[in-house]
Amino acid sequence: MAETPKLRLYNTLTRTKEDFVPLDPANVRMYVCGPTVYDFAHIGNARPVIIFDVLFRLLRHLYGEKHVTYVRNVTDIDDKINQRAFDRWTRKRPLLDEVKALTDITAAQYEADVAALGNLPPTHAPRATDFVCNGSQPTDMVRVIGRLVDRGFAYAAEGHVLFHVPSMSAYGRLSRRPLDDMIAGARVEVAPYKKDPMDFVLWKPSDPATEPGWDSPWGFGRPGWHIECSAMAGALLGQTFDIHAGGIDLIFPHHENEIAQTCCAFGVDKMASVWMHNGFLQVEGQKMSKSAGNFFTIQDVLKDWPGEVVRLNMLKTHYRQPIDWTVRGLEESRKTLDEFHTNGSAPEGGSPKEFIDALADDLNLPKALAVLHRYRKEERYADFNSAIQLLGLPTVADLRGRATIRFRASGVLTGVDSDSVEQSVSKRLAARRAKNFAESDRIRDELLAMGIQLKDGKDPVTGEPVTTWEVKR
Ligand code: AMP
Ligand code: ZN
């Protein structure tokens, strides 16, 4: 058996690259903080999903598909969501049901967006609302908060429950910030019920007339953001697990506070062994913001670019570096993929050792992509195909499976809407399969009239009919 490469990961906790040693190699566990589903996800939100999907694929490759558990949560409790739900509330059903109806839509949209970018579904995608006070769940939020109060790490005051930061001597180990910075970074609210300005909210009161909430020992209210992840991770992965990840903005206060809650509630000395953080995405050199007019949702980007182009473009930069999202970069990524897809077909089952070694070195994607290019140059197509699948990008055979072939030489298609051509080609293939040759000929002639020449053939591997097309000159 081939030797398993040593996986090394950069750990924010120690600020070093370390050998990865799973707590249980038969069940490697990873938690990635997911989106707050109050609106469509933006292209920056796609970065952690894509990066940690590649890590998920790599872990499955190294430890076996059945031996990796990946949790990516959905935050569906949030004041902006509450406001929106309240605005459309007709009072015909409980406000919490209105929240659910709203977040069902935004969460489904999110799932569709990230699937279009080639990401595997995580093992579990828990929603925070299912873990607030679920009677059968020993680590739901209300019980974790109760444990923190019982153990002297949290206190109730004026309908709130607060985590008392000075009660935890190890607080701040992840972010390593001086206290003054932390106070500024957390934008701490000065409130009369706080014992210390750093204390953060675990539970807060809801006004039953205008805000959703749950009954709790501290009155009707709702959880704070940080406690959601401690509860969901605890329920699905256990009190201590292997990898916890998210964008770099989450180091403080979110991840720092998750550690505080989990360690103090359960009396463990760590929540996760490795903490990983992706750098931020900016657009054409500028911070992305609605006011600057350079804010793009995943859907905006997918209108102009195929999912695999967006994905490759995200993988070209090392995940810990900032990434500059540019049209030029996307154009180059499209060109690269078009080149990749002129590869000859190859059987499955390559063993792309150098490629995996690059990924196993703290996801060195730029290096891994260089190896991929080399495989292509050396016509090692079996290795190439195994490698590209680990990145979640389509192989030539995958594209043929879509029954159409993408256009190749860039630039030829000026003035032609490739999506509508591909739609017609698919329709014609369906007509041929149904032996409706009159319809299939009609579509062929219609395209010919537009200057598009079709060529029918067979996939060399599967024998399925395939149709390629080009613009007649
Ligand atoms: P949010 O819905 O804001 O909690 O973000 C969901 C995930 O996207 C978190 O892991 C964030 O760290 C990450 N994220 C948000 N904005 C960006 C960005 N501009 N670049 C990279 N990651 C981001
Ligand atoms: Zn989280």
Could you tell me where the DSSP H helices lie in 347-455?
353-360, 365-377, 381-390, 396-401, 418-433, 437-449
Compute the distance from residue 286 Cα to the ligand 1 centre, in Å: 16
Output the residue whose Cα is nearest ligand 1's atom 8: 45
Q: Is the pLDDT reported for residue 236 higher than 90? A: yes
Instruction: Give the model confidence (pLDDT) of 269-317 as tens digits.
Output: 999 999 999 999 999 999 998 888 899 999 999 999 999 999 999 999 9
Supply 269's token pair. 């000395």
Confidence of residue 365 (pLDDT cuts 50, 70, 90): very high
- Cis, bond preceding 166 (omega within 30 deg of 0): no
Confidence of residue 465 (pLDDT cuts 50, 70, 90): confident
Output the residue whose Cα is nearest ligand 1's atom 9: 247
CA gap 429, 277 in Å, rounded: 45
Compute the distance from residue 233 Cα to the ligand 2 centre, in Å: 9
User: Does 250 sit in the ligand 1 pocket, CB within 6 Å?
Assistant: yes
**Which of 249, 258, 283, 294 has the most ligand 1 atoms within 8 A of CB, as the residue to mutate?**
249
User: Does 35 sit in the ligand 1 pocket, CB within 6 Å?
Assistant: yes
**CA triplet 170, 175, 178: central angle to 5 degrees?**
80
Q: Is the pLDDT reported for residue 318 higher than 70? A: yes
Distances (CA, A) of 391 to 16, 57, 90, 346: 25, 8, 46, 17
Average pLDDT of the segment spanning 221-247: 97
Instruction: Give the model confidence (pLDDT) of 383-410 as tens digits.
Output: 999 999 999 999 888 877 664 434 333 3
Output the residue whose Cα is nearest ligand 1's atom 11: 247
Compute the distance from residue 81 Cα to the ligand 1 centre, in Å: 17
User: Does 244 sit in the ligand 1 pocket, CB within 6 Å?
Assistant: no
Average pLDDT of the segment spanning 17-30: 98
Q: Which atom of ligand 1 is nearest to the CA of 323?
A: 20
The ligand whose atoms approach the alpha carbon of 321 most closely is 1
Closest CA to 152 of 67, 265, 279: 265
Closest CA to 347 of 463, 461, 464: 461
Output the residue whose Cα is nearest ligand 1's atom 6: 35
The model's pTM: 0.85
Higher pLDDT, 438 or 68: 68
Paired strand residues for 42: 297
Q: Provide φ and ψ at 303, rounded to 5°.
A: -65, -35
pLDDT at 187: 65
Compute the distance from residue 16 Cα to the ligand 2 centre, in Å: 22
Distances (CA, A) of 442 to 91, 436, 437, 470: 54, 10, 8, 18
Paired strand residues for 465: 458
Compute the distance from residue 48 Cα to the ligand 2 centre, in Å: 12
Confidence of residue 158 (pLDDT cuts 50, 70, 90): very high
CA 464 to chain CA centroid, nearest Å: 34
Q: Is the pLDDT reported for residue 473 higher than 60? A: no
Which span out of 3-7, 367-371, 440-444, 450-454 was modeled with the highest average pLDDT?
367-371
Provide the percentage of residues in the chain whose pLDDT is more than 70. Answer: 93
Compute the distance from residue 246 Cα to the ligand 1 centre, in Å: 7
pLDDT at 402: 63
pLDDT at 404: 41
Supply 399's token pair. 């594209």
Q: Is the pLDDT reported for residue 163 higher than 60? A: yes
Supply 229's token pair. 């992840």
Instruction: Give the model confidence (pLDDT) of 141-155 as tens digits.
Output: 999 999 999 999 999
Average pLDDT of the segment spanning 122-134: 95
Average pLDDT of the segment spanning 423-446: 85
The ligand whose atoms approach the alpha carbon of 35 most closely is 1
**CA triplet 213, 215, 217: central angle to 5 degrees?**
130
Average pLDDT of the segment spanning 36-51: 95
Confidence of residue 19 (pLDDT cuts 50, 70, 90): very high
pLDDT at 108: 95
pLDDT at 460: 58
Confidence of residue 442 (pLDDT cuts 50, 70, 90): confident
Supply 214's token pair. 């749950």
Specify the residue for token string 């939020």: 141
Output the residue whose Cα is nearest ligand 1's atom 16: 44
Output the residue whose Cα is nearest ligand 1's atom 17: 44
User: CB 377: neighbour CB atoms within 10 A?
Assistant: 9
pLDDT at 180: 72
What rounded mean pLDDT belongs to the chain? 90
**Which of 31, 45, 106, 252 has the most ligand 1 atoms within 8 A of CB, as the residue to mutate?**
45
User: Does 50 sit in the ligand 1 pocket, CB within 6 Å?
Assistant: no
User: Does 280 sit in the ligand 1 pocket, CB within 6 Å?
Assistant: yes
Question: Is residue 236 within 8 Å of residue 69, measured between CB atoms?
Answer: yes
